[in-house]
Amino acid sequence: MFEPVIAPSGTLLGLLQRGRGDGTLHALAAPRPEALAALDECVTRDPRQDWQVENRSLYYARLYLDLDGPLGAIEAHLFGVDDLVDEEDHRTGLALSVLGHLASYGRDDALMLLRRYAASGANWAWALDELALRDDDEGLRSLADPVLARFPETADGGARLAAAVRDAYEPRPWSLWEELPQYGQRLRAARQQGSFDRWQRQLNPSGPRPGWGVRAVFDWAADGLRRGTPLHVPAARCLAAVAAPEDRPEILAAAAGALGEAARATALHHLVLAEPENPAVLDLIEAAGDEPAVAAYERMGGPAALERARLWVHRPDALGAAAAALLAARGGADDAGLVLGALRNTVRGSGPDSARLFTLVDGAGRLGIGCAAPVLRHVYRETSSSHLRGRAARALAGTDPAFGAGFAVECLWDCEETTREVAARHAETADARVAPRLRRLAADPAEEEDVQSAVRSRITPESAV
């Protein structure tokens, strides 16, 4: 998949790509052709850092409604030549989700596009799942012929059909098609085969067996590493089940590296839980300093780990970053200065999209570090991650007295429901835009229940406002 090019945060395109509430507000105030062009660019070139966790579809769908936007650009994207050669879900997933929301708002043109794509597009399964939530029975039955034609009545076709039925997020279309006489027998067989496949996987698991000892667990972890599948975390859980007191010297030797990389990682992950207050374990982590050792340290949270974090937080490596994250998550008021310093250094050194900022931003809010507000505002404005921006908003709600009259108002239009929830609790109704927006969120059937609960805690019946 292409890496999205994110426009500057001060531009209309940059605001919309980030999913900021100001993006909607600026788009509604901009010339309509300019706003639609930016919106189409976002939907057809997914701008999210992580398309699996960040929300944009409802945000863009609402803007299409407000602008009465045509769907020509989405249609060209879905049915273009790229669809013949690129079958990755994330190429078209955002566009299909936007169409799904538009269909739920009553846009028949979006519904028709979803039906066309489910019949002929590469990412047909995603489109079918969208339709399963929004289309009527007749519309879904009309797709039986084109969808099932994808699976020839051969051994391979039958296996692929069983997998499709088994893996469908929404079973409704398949259940409807199973009622059709011409497809009922075949689909019932496919459903039964999918259930048998699950049972067979459960019947023949790979991995630890009763009777294994410490060395067998280490060997299993080493075999996984040779195959490119690190197993030190589940192996550490197995080690906790099989290790006896007499095995401790062998485990300590493995943690020091005597039995190889996989055994060392397994032993460290075991020891941080079995002996969390043992300074020797922290010494082993410091001596190793690599990714598995840092990951083991991140599982700690006791007093000894916190004391070591205060010493390590100034290190410029991954262990220093893990120490800062631990202080942000579990440190006390006396650690506020260290957390603030780590937050500032991370923004300066790695920019507003660094993954390290998630915990540090949360920590600034948890510890109520008022002087962190300027850097939190910078992260809020500049990050392209809507999840990180939402965390910055929550931190600002607890550290910035101006949040309620400032960013909280724009957050009512944010792409993330958790950010809209924060805004619904904090946005000051002295701003003339707030009360109407709260009422719209309360009446929108597509809005999340948590957001609507927050809205209901703020607004009174319209006649009393």
Residues 6+ apart with CB under 8 A from 143: 115, 118, 119, 128, 131, 173
Q: pLDDT tens-digit profile of 15-30?
A: 999 999 999 999 999 9
Best CA proximity match to 111, nearest among 75, 160, 147, 150: 75
The tokens for 387 are 């999840």
Q: Decide: 231 and 261 in contact? Cβ < 8 Å.
A: no
Q: How many residues does the chain have?
A: 465
Best CA proximity match to 359, nearest among 319, 322, 332: 322
Distance CA 28, CA 9 (A): 17
pLDDT (tens, 9 = 90+) of the chain, 465 residues, equals: 457 789 999 999 999 999 999 999 999 999 999 999 999 999 999 999 888 889 999 999 999 999 999 999 999 999 999 988 887 888 999 999 999 999 999 999 999 999 999 999 999 999 999 999 999 999 999 999 999 999 998 988 888 898 888 888 899 999 999 999 988 888 888 888 755 455 455 444 555 555 678 898 998 899 888 988 888 899 899 988 888 899 999 999 999 999 999 999 999 999 999 998 899 999 999 998 889 999 999 999 999 999 999 999 999 999 999 999 999 999 999 999 999 999 999 999 999 999 999 999 999 999 999 999 999 999 999 999 999 999 999 999 999 999 999 999 999 999 999 999 999 999 999 999 999 999 999 999 999 999 999 999 887 655 333
Best CA proximity match to 266, nearest among 304, 237, 299, 286: 237
Q: pLDDT tens-digit profile of 186-223?
A: 888 888 875 545 545 544 455 555 567 889 899 889 98
- Count Cβ neighbours within 10 Å for each residue of 100-123 and write b for 16 or more, e otherwise: bbbbbbebeebbebbbbbbbebbb
Q: Using alpha carbons only, give the angle 228, 233, 238 rounded to the nearest 5 degrees.
A: 115
354, with CB counted inside 10 A (0-12, 13-18, 19+), is middle
User: In the prediction, which pLDDT does 85 show?
Assistant: 84
Q: Decide: 441 and 56 in contact? Cβ < 8 Å.
A: no
User: In the prediction, which pLDDT does 465 show?
Assistant: 39
For the entire predicted model, the pTM comes to: 0.89
Q: Decide: 43 and 74 in contact? Cβ < 8 Å.
A: yes
User: In the prediction, which pLDDT does 2 show?
Assistant: 55
User: In the prediction, which pLDDT does 339 show?
Assistant: 97
User: In the prediction, which pLDDT does 463 show?
Assistant: 38
